[in-house]
Amino acid sequence: MNYSLFITGSPTASRACHTALDFAEALLSDGAHQIHGVFFYEEAVAIANALAMPPRDECNIRNEWVAFAKQHSVPLYICIAAALRRGELNEAEAKRHEVANHNLAEGFLLEGLGSLISLTSESDRMMRFK
Query: Hey, is 130 helix, strand or coil?
Result: coil
What dihedral angle (degrees, nearest 10) is formed by the CA atoms of 85, 86, 88, 94? Answer: 40
Choose, from 7, 66, 79, 119, the residue flagged as catalytic.
Answer: 79
**CA Rg value for the chain:** 14
Q: Catalytic annotation on 79?
A: yes
Percent of residues in the chain assigned helix, strand, coil, to nearest 5? 40, 20, 35
Query: Hey, is 4 helix, strand or coil?
Result: strand
Query: Hey, is 50 helix, strand or coil?
Result: coil
Contact 5, 24 (CB under 8 A): yes
List C-alpha distances in Å: 58 to 49, 61, 88: 17, 9, 22
> What are the residue numbers of the active site?
79
